[in-house]
Amino acid sequence: MMKTKLLLTTVFLFCINSWIRAQSTVPSVLEKTDCRTEVTKVAIEMEAKRDQNAYRQLLQEQMQITRSAITEYTIQIHIVRMDDGTGGVNVATVRNEIANWVNPYFAQVNATFVECSAEQYINSTAYYSLSGDAEGDAMAVANNVANVINIYFVNDPDGACGWARFPWMLPADYVVIANSCANNQSTIVHELGHYFSLYHTHETAFGAENVTRNSAGSCYDCDTDGDKLCDTPADPRLNLASVTITPAPACAYSSSLTDACGVSYTPDPTSIMSYSLKACRTVFTASQKAKMILTMASAPGSPLYGRNYLQTSCPCDKPQAICKNISVNLDGSGNAGIAPSNVDNGSTWDCGFGSWSVNPNAFNCNNTGDNVVTLTVTDVNGATSTCQSTVKISDNISPVITTHASNRTVECDGGGNEVSYANWLNTHGGATASDACGGTWSNNSIGLSNGCGATG
């Protein structure tokens, strides 16, 4: 059974200067854009309506709960290519990233992502490179699978590594990732963080966050500004030209930037929701994890703006290919063929049989011995499973002598007439034979070898 559960939603939140309630020494010119998930006025209005004290209490309660059950969220992988079918990320690259990086991080919130259906290929030059969220939204409307996390892999999502839609942006509901960022160990994790309600640690739409965590001080604002979480240090935006982050594993921050109160920033370069170096981003804080858990469990129309509509199990198991080893004899023409049923050992397709194949499936004299073949089973949803079998090819048909050797008398010439005798042997005494796979001749003779010193 092919399991993949992920639902990705991205919301663009545009930071307008008039929304920022505090000023800092952070420069306005950025070195590059890592992510285009931006907080819009909709998010600001949503946060203003929410009972922030009650919400913070819920986060605290979530952090005290011990969980063991894992929830599977179904994802649908969409690979966008050019009109002619060229381009597109290798799906094996995506699956490796999800298995080795995404799922281990989300195991911290008792979630894992599985595929229930095969990847979808979208041949559209128009969507291969996106110029903004409007194009992304149109792509999602045309191709989304309902109630799962739709992740699109494109050549260029508007110059960024990706973006995601926040839960309160429904019906816009997807994640988009640049092909070049599909296997950097943190971009997909980062965008899924947005999908489950997390803001950037450097967010300024609610106000630029100050460094202090002293709740009695006048500069204290970590629960109302920035990402509204106090266990994520204030962050000036870590991809600024004036910020230096040393490569992993050191990931050390260096900058002279200060907040609005003149305090030097001490951000966490390992924060997944930051703009730190991709290999440095490895940490979700306790409150970030609690916020994602609340989002996963809450209804989309509630004040928590959750995603409890997401499919949390595959309706049927993906196919399972089961192989056995076999032996096959070549026929009289030196050929043999096999079918999937020959190497099948009880394969299953819970969702319904689609097709199966075995490769290679044709053999000849050059393939005698052990050959490894692959059985591929596909169900009606396009999910696949493979296994390998060893096929031993044998040639057990003996050659046929069509003409027997003729007798020959060798006259004594004083030297044994060796040349004439050798010619007779080289032509096998006139004998002929046939075999589809060819063969070698050997001559067994008992006779005299000393010239005319003896006869017989």
**Read out DSSP for 204-224?**
-TT-PPPS---TTSTT--TTT
pLDDT in tens, 249-291: 999 999 999 999 999 999 999 999 999 999 999 999 999 999 9
- Domain 17-297 in CATH 3.40.390: yes
Residue 238 has pLDDT above 50, yes or no: yes
Q: Tell me which DSSP letter residue 244 carries.
A: E
CATH class of 326-394: mainly beta
In this structure, what is the dihedral angle of CA atoms 89, 90, 95, 98, given to the nearest 10 degrees? Answer: -30
Burial string for 273-284 (b: 16+ CB within 10 Å, else e) reads bbbbbbebbbbb
Beta-carbon-side half-sphere exposure of residue 330 (alpha carbons within 13 Å): 20
Closest CA to 35 of 139, 178, 245: 178
pLDDT in tens, 364-411: 999 999 999 999 999 888 888 999 999 999 988 877 677 777 666 666
**Backbone phi, psi, residue 15, to 5°:** -85, 110
Q: How far is it between the farthest Cα atoms of the chain?
A: 126
Residue 444 has pLDDT above 70, yes or no: no
pTM, two decimal places: 0.72
Could you give the C-alpha distances from 141 to 116, 137, 171, 380, in angstroms and in order?
Answer: 20, 6, 9, 24
Beta-bridge partners for 363 = 336
pLDDT in tens, 223-234: 999 999 999 999
Going from N- to C-terminal start, the domains of the chain cover 17-297, 326-394, 400-434
CA separation for the pair 333, 153 (Å, rounded): 50
Work out the angle between the directed axes of helices 286-297 and 52-63 (0-180°, nearest 10).
100
Could you give the C-alpha distances from 111 to 150, 191, 294, 296, 331, in angstroms and in order?
Answer: 16, 15, 12, 9, 55
pLDDT in tens, 124-178: 999 999 999 999 999 999 999 999 999 999 999 999 999 999 999 989 999 999 9
Kindly state the average pLDDT of the residues 23-40: 61
What is the pLDDT, as a whole number, of residue 425?
63
- Which stretch of 59-68, 313-322, 382-391, 429-438 has the lowest confidence by average pLDDT? 429-438
Residue 424 has pLDDT above 70, yes or no: no
